[in-house]
Amino acid sequence: MSDYKLVVTKDEALVLHELLAHLYEPDRLEFAHRAEFFVLKGLGSQLKTAGAGIAADDYAGILAEARRSVAKGYEVDPNQSAFEGF
For residue 32, is it within any domain?
Answer: yes
For residue 81, is it within any domain?
Answer: no
For residue 77, is it within any domain?
Answer: no
**Containing structural domain, residue 42:** 10-71
pTM listed for this prediction: 0.74
Please tell me the distance from the alpha carbon of residue 17 to that of residue 3, in angstroms, as a whole number: 21
pLDDT tens digits, 25-73 = 777 788 899 999 899 888 888 887 777 777 778 889 999 999 999 999 8
Transcribe the chain into DSSP letters. ---------HHHHHHHHHHHHHHTSTTS---SSHHHHHHHHHHHHHHHHHHTT--HHHHHHHHHHHHHHHHTT----TTS-TTTT-
